[in-house]
C-alpha cells in the first residue's frame, strides 16, 4: 500500500513538530532514534525558535491539517495576528480552491 508516495513497509523514525514556538525534528536515523528512546533520552536532533510571522505560519499550516480546520478569530486571539503575507497567502489558496472559508468570522 502506498500513502503519500511511500511504501508502508518502510518505517520512518523522524517527525517534525511545533511546540512552544519551536520547530522540532526527531532523529532520521532509526538506530539513533531507538537508542535515544531506550536510554530514556529525547530523540530530537534539531530545533529552531521561529520568529514572528514564521511562528504563526508554521502553527497555521499544522492546524490546517486537522479535520476541524482553523477558527481564524480564535487562532489570532491565542497566537497573534496574521501578517499581511499570511493574509495574502490565505486569499490566494482560497481563490485557487485549495482552502474553503466558512462562517461569520471569515473576511
Above 70 in pLDDT, residue 6?
Answer: no
* DSSP-based three-state secondary structure for 34: helix
Say what the pLDDT of residue 10 is: 44
Say what the pLDDT of residue 30 is: 84
Q: Around Cβ 27, how many Cβ atoms within 10 Å? A: 20
Mean pLDDT of the region 4-8: 42
- Beta bridge partners, 17, equal 24
Comparison of pLDDT for 92 and 11, the residue scoring more:
92
Mean pLDDT of the region 27-31: 87
Amino acid at each position: 500500500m502506498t500513502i503519500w508516495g511511500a511504501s508502508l513497509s518502510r518505517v520512518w523514525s523522524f517527525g517534525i513538530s511545533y511546540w512552544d514556538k519551536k520547530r522540532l525534528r526527531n532523529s532520521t536515523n532509526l538506530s539513533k532514534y531507538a537508542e535515544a528512546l531506550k536510554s530514556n533520552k529525547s530523540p530530537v536532533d534539531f530545533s529552531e525558535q521561529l520568529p514572528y510571522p514564521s511562528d504563526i505560519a508554521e502553527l497555521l499550516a499544522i492546524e490546517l491539517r486537522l479535520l476541524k480546520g482553523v477558527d481564524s478569530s480564535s487562532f489570532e486571539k491565542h497566537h497573534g495576528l496574521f501578517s499581511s503575507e499570511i493574509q495574502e497567502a490565505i486569499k490566494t489558496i482560497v481563490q485557487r480552491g485549495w482552502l474553503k472559508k466558512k462562517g461569520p468570522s471569515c473576511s
